[in-house]
Amino acid sequence: MDTLLLTVETGSQETVHDLTPACRSFTRGRGDGLLHVFVPHATAGVAVLELGAGSDEDLLAALRDLLPADDRWRHRHGSPGHGRSHVLPALIPPYATIPVLDGELALGTWQSVTLVDLNVDNRVRSVRLSMLPG
C-alpha cells in the first residue's frame, strides 16, 4: 500500500477544501485500485460533492443550521460552539474511498473530494491518502 500524508491549511474560517487535485496527483500512474482518504482528526470530515456551483456554501449553511455555533454543547473548550465540531464526523465521516481506474479517479463529472472543517481553532489539518492496488 502506498500512502502520503498531506498538510492542509484550513485557516480561521469554516471551510470546504478541495482535495481532488492532490488525490489525482497521488493516483496518477498507479493503475487500478481504491484511494482511501482519511482525516485523523476528531473535528473534520471528508465529503464527495460538487464544488464551484454553490454546493460547498450550501453544505456549510446546512451544517450551521444543524450544528449551531452556540453554547448548547457540553464539549465547551475552544471557541464558542466548538463542541459541534466534535459531532461533525458522525454526519460527515473522516474518510472516503474512491475507485481508481488506470490511475484516474472514477468520480462523476461534477464530483470532488473535499475536506470539511468547521473547527476554527485548528488551522492546519493532516489528510492521509492511501492507494490500495486492485
Ordered domains of the chain (ranges, CATH): 2-133 (2.60.120.460)
Torsion angle (degrees, nearest 10) of CA 120, 125, 129, 130: -110
Per-residue pLDDT for 79 more than 90? Answer: no
Task: Give the mean model confidence (pLDDT) for residues 105-128.
Answer: 95
- Cα–Cα distance measured from residue 38 to residue 123, given in angstroms and rounded to the nearest whole number: 17
How is residue 103 annotated by DSSP?
Answer: T
The reported pLDDT for the residue numbered 117 is 96
How do residues 5-35 score in pLDDT, each as one tens digit? 999 999 889 999 999 999 999 999 999 999 9
pTM: 0.94
**Mean pLDDT across the chain:** 94
- 83: amino acid identity, one letter: G
